[in-house]
């Protein structure tokens, strides 16, 4: 039942925000950039590839913050990840984030990157979710098509930016703390970043997006700057 509530909430956000968004250039997935192995595995998915609600689709938007081009900003409050471009623009991706108690915030760097990663659940995830200690790579793996591992102070934070086999939850806060993207968006971002890319994850209640998607999920209005 809770899954249905989340799904309906995301759909509602799409309907409510579509009338009050700033002009946005949406980006179609460029499958020409996919490797043959990507196309092969994505063709074998067993999950339902639910379309992402419009406000959370990949788009090129105005970017008002001061992070350097080539860096990443994560606004967990509003379920967005921004890849900063030149000239005051950014690519904005919709994401799934962790519940507040499980979220991580701070400044990190991409410490390593993997295509079609295996999943090694943490001890806490194994105890809480009842999952196995290892899940092999593949189209139905919860880590999805790509993983970018976040390091801070030279140490693995155990938080990742990665794909997902649950695209229906893009725009929601349900993960164990990691930042999930659709598998297609994870491939797109992965092709743009490199080891050493700076990642800024805003603290809870410090969202800094031009409009508030969380407010839409709760049934409120939005003011777009």
- Cβ neighbour number for residue 104 with a 10 Å cutoff: 19
Helix (H, G, I), strand (E, B) or coil at 81: strand
Q: Which two tokens stand for residue 125?
A: 């995830």
Strands 89-94 and 59-62: what pairing? antiparallel
Q: Which of 89, 92, 77, 70 is nearest to 185 (CA)?
A: 92
Alpha helices by DSSP H, the chain = 2-17, 36-42, 123-129, 183-190, 213-217
**Cβ neighbours for 88, distance < 8 A, ≥ 6 positions apart:** 62, 63, 64
The catalytically annotated residue of 20, 37, 120, 178 is 178
Burial class (CB in 10 A: 0-12, 13-18, 19+), 51: exposed
The catalytically annotated residue of 37, 64, 120, 162 is 162
Cα separation, 186 vs 41, whole angstroms: 14
CA dist list (Å): 40 to 30, 118, 136, 165: 15, 17, 16, 16
- Look up 20 and say whether it is catalytic: no
- Look up 178 and say whether it is catalytic: yes
What are the strands, taking DSSP E only, across 116-217?
Answer: 146-152, 155-162, 173-175, 179-180, 198-201
Q: Which positions are annotated as active-site residues?
A: 162, 178
């Amino acid at each position: 039942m809770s899954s249905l509530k989340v799904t309906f909430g995301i759909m509602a956000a799409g309907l409510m925000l579509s009338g009050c968004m700033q002009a946005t250039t949406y980006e179609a997935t460029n499958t020409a950039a996919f490797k043959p192995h990507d196309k092969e595995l994505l063709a074998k998915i067993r999950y339902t590839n639910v379309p992402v609600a419009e406000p959370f689709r990949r788009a090129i938007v105005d970017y008002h913050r001061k992070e350097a081009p080539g860096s990443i900003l994560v606004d967990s409050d509003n379920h967005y990840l921004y890849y900063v471009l030149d000239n005051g623009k950014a690519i904005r991706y919709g994401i799934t984030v962790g519940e507040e108690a499980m979220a991580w915030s701070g400044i990190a760097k991409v410490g390593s990157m993997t295509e079609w990663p295996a999943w090694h659940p943490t001890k806490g995830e194994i105890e809480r979710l009842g999952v196995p200690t290892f899940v092999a790579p593949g189209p139905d793996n919860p880590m999805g098509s790509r993983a970018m591992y976040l390091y801070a102070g030279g140490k693995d934070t155990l938080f990742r930016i990665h794909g997902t086999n649950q695209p229906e939850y893009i725009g929601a806060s349900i993960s164990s703390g990691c930042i999930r993207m659709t598998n297609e968006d994870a491939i797109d971002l992965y092709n743009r970043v490199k080891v050493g890319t700076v990642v800024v994850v805003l603290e809870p209640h410090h969202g800094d997006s031009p409009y508030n998607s969380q407010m839409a999920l709760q049934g409120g209005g939005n003011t777009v700057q």
